[in-house]
Amino acid sequence: DTGVSQNPRHKITKRGQNVTFRCDPISEHNRLYWYRQTLGQGPEFLTYFQNEAQLEKSRLLSDRFSAERPKGSFSTLEIQRTEQGDSAMYLCASSLGLAGGAGTDTQYFGPGTRLTVL
Amino acid sequence: AQSVTQLDSQVPVFEEAPVELRCNYSSSVSVYLFWYVQYPNQGLQLLLKYLSGSTLVKGINGFEAEFNKSQTSFHLRKPSVHISDTAEYFCAVARGYGGSQGNLIFGKGTKLSVKP
């Protein structure tokens, strides 16, 4: 168990540029989550995958945001035309989901990718 | 919709003293409750969770929490803290059934500062 990994750990970009983050979950975990955390706030849910299917998207996930998990393993989160308000820590988590809903799952978090938009 | 309120943004305490970090939630449906800890420059780590059964839940590092349905609270306690407990603590809820079960809703966090 090597834990959830995220790359890059830090990203500085200029407003209007596109950025992509990668998350590698714990290998046998079938569920994967993205959250955003801004200074002084708790993480806010963005989206959730079960295997390769994106089951839920938050209203926070505007049209400029897209997430994929093409083979049910790693996931990418892309932000197009970045804005200064996108500056935040982007967290990925994974869980081993058994039958039933994800509410009981223990989510294991990665260290996050800190995005700074200048 | 669910929400989580952590009543204290910062809690300073001396080493070996007891501590309680308060968490209240609101929800119209049954929920599962979690406490996570975030050490500097590290990811969130689960301390404990309440799913059902005994309302007193024991977690790692000597922490425990008590689920109180009538008061909609899930306060975290430790009888004697160490310097190494200095971190930020987050309370979170997940829906017990229906949609959005994968959506953890977090409080704003409580920074615990343990002084020698």
pLDDT tens digits, A71-89: 889 999 999 999 999 999 9
Q: Would you state the pLDDT for residue A71?
A: 87
Q: Tell me the Ramachandran region of residue A30: left when phi exceeds 0, alpha when psi lies from -120 to 50, beta otherwise.
A: alpha
Query: With a cut of 70, which residues of chain B have pLDDT below it?
Result: 96-101
Q: State chain A's mean pLDDT as an integer.
A: 92
Contact A103 B46 (CB under 8 A): no
Hey, of A5, A6, A7, A37, which one would you mutate to test binding to chain B, going by the most B CBs within 10 A of its CB?
A37
Give percent of chain A above pLDDT 90.
76
Q: What is the dihedral of CA A48, A51, A53, A58, to 10 degrees?
A: 0
Q: Would you state the pLDDT for residue B36?
A: 97
Q: Would you state the pLDDT for residue A113?
A: 97
Q: Would you state the pLDDT for residue A66?
A: 95
**What is the H or E stretch that residue B88 is in?**
strand B87-95
Among A51-55, A73-77, A91-95, A110-114, the range scoring the smallest mean pLDDT is A51-55
Hey, of B48, B91, B103, which one would you mutate to test binding to chain A, going by the most A CBs within 10 A of its CB?
B103
Report whether B47 contacts B114 (CB < 8 A): no
Q: Would you state the pLDDT for residue B88?
A: 97
Instruction: Say whether pLDDT at A4 is over 60.
Output: yes
Tell me what the mean pLDDT of segment A7-21 comes to. Answer: 97
Tell me what the mean pLDDT of segment A76-105 comes to. Answer: 89
| Predicted confidence band of residue A64 (pLDDT cuts 50, 70, 90) | very high
Enumerate residues 6+ apart whose C-beta is below 8 A from B14. B114, B115, B116
Q: For residue B97, give the DSSP letter.
A: S
Q: Would you state the pLDDT for residue B99?
A: 58
Q: How far is B38 from chain A (nearest CA, A)?
A: 10
Q: How far is A100 from chain B (nearest CA, A)?
A: 9
Q: Would you state the pLDDT for residue A77?
A: 97
Q: Would you state the pLDDT for residue A1?
A: 56
